[in-house]
Amino acid sequence: MIRLLRRWKAQRSLRGQLQWLEGDLMAGDWRLYDDVALLPAAPGGAPDDYQQQLLRSLGGSHAGYRMLRLRGGEQSSCDLLIPRGEWTLLMDRDRRWMLRVGTSAERARRLVDNAAWLSQSFPCPHIEQATVSAEGAHAVRESFADGVPIRDADEHHWEPVYRQLLAACTRHAEYCDGVFDLSHAMDELARWNLPAWLQRALEAHRAGIDATLGNCPMLRAHGDCHNGNVFARADGNLLLIDLERAQSMPFFYDALSLLRGTAAVNGHLRRAYLDGAYDGPLTELWAAAGREWHPSHRVAALLAMPIAHAFRPQFSEADSAKRRDKFISACEKVREDCGLG
């Protein structure tokens, strides 16, 4: 019963968005799944390869669907609709571009600004302001992100793409501005009730954490380089998507973000990192930020990441308990490989 209720709510939300954006969608019999709506693109009225791949990557239950007939817009070529938080994503049938539609003009402007900023150092989609017919909507057009998230890429792409990310972060380090306030973070952290294993880890690696975060250069970074936003393109090259969360972070934050996840790619890269496979690129990154990389601080740097995560600008207004929970959760992801008890 609970699952059916959730499906009904999701489909009701999809119906509302489809009707709101009808003038920007292709006409036809749309299929409504739990978390995506599509107009089948293959001959014979079936989802094409891309649509099927998208359904698989989204997970969830896609066994059943409902139908909704849309009149559509005469000039529209969008055949996919995906709700994503504050945005609704519309995909062009020829997979040339994507519309990101929302109700906030400021959010749309910020995304265009972030893309212009980050593209100086990182391979990113081209993003520009766009106009849609839906009332009260603000939109941007993004060039299509070909390829797959690194978590879904073939294993032989993992390390080359990660090395490209390290090189891009090294280029980006020239824009450092300001320093991390470690004393404020550690004062609050000292008041937290932490698991015994984590308290012991912080004490054992305190010198390395201080060396990593003390007076650490900051820069406006991507801030969300997880295994779904780092793409491996068909040619094996890096692409970063979802640029909305760019914010001031320690200079190494993007470079080490892929070492914190729980997918196979995260564990593979994390273990290679702990074995010293990336000491060369990290030495170059640290030098670009005016710092010195210490291989003996590899574990400490992975503990510094959750501290930076818990005290990132987007959590500045959150209560201390939320920051503590974010910190513990992030440390849990590296606990086993780092031998933290």
> Over the stretch 102-134, which tens digit does the pLDDT of each residue have?
999 999 999 999 999 999 999 999 999 999 999
Residue 230 has pLDDT above 70, yes or no: yes
Task: Give the span between the Cα atoms of 291 and 310, in whole angstroms.
Answer: 23
How many other β-carbons are positioned within 10 Å of the β-carbon of residue 261?
A: 19
Is residue 58 very low, low, confident or very high in pLDDT (cuts 50, 70, 90)?
Answer: confident
Given this model, what pLDDT does residue 60 score? 63
pLDDT on residue 8: 42
Rounded to whole angstroms, the Cα distance separating 220 from 120 reads: 12
pTM reported for the whole predicted model: 0.90
Give the per-residue pLDDT at 61. 62
Average of per-residue pLDDT across 289-310: 97
Question: pLDDT at position 7, please?
Answer: 47
Res. 335: pLDDT tops 80 = yes
How far lies 122's CA from each of 115, 127, 170, 240, 313, in Å?
Answer: 9, 14, 10, 7, 22
State the average pLDDT over residues 7-12. 50
Q: Residue range 298-308: average pLDDT? A: 97
What is the pLDDT of the chain when averaged over all its residues?
93
Distances (CA, A) of 292 to 163, 178, 286: 19, 18, 6
Q: Which residues have a Cβ under 8 Å from the Cβ of 123 and sit 6 or more positions away?
A: 168, 237, 238, 239, 240
Name 203's Cβ contacts closer than 8 Å, sequence gap at least 6.
Answer: none
Q: Of the given ranges (34-38, 95-99, 158-162, 273-277), which has the lowest mean pLDDT?
A: 34-38
Enter the tokens of residue 323. 């920051």
pLDDT at position 44 = 83
DSSP string, 24-42: GS--EEEEE-SS-EE---B
pLDDT above 70 (res 6) = no
State whether CATH 3.90.1200 applies to domain 148-335: yes
Q: Which of 12-21, 190-199, 240-249 has the lowest mean pLDDT?
A: 12-21
Give the Cα separation of 152 and 155 in Å (integer).
9
Query: pLDDT band at residue 252, thresholds of 50, 70 and 90?
Result: very high
* Euclidean distance between CA atoms 199 and 253, whole angstroms: 22
The tokens for 218 are 């900051």
Share of the chain above pLDDT 90, in %: 84
**5-19, 173-187, 254-268: which has the minimum mean pLDDT?**
5-19
Q: Distance between CA atoms of 81 and 291, rounded to whole angstroms?
A: 45
CA distance 205 to 216: 17
Domain ranges of the chain: 2-143, 148-335
Residue 334 tokens, joined: 């590296």
- Give the gyration radius of the chain's Cα atoms: 22
User: How is residue 46 annotated by DSSP?
Assistant: B
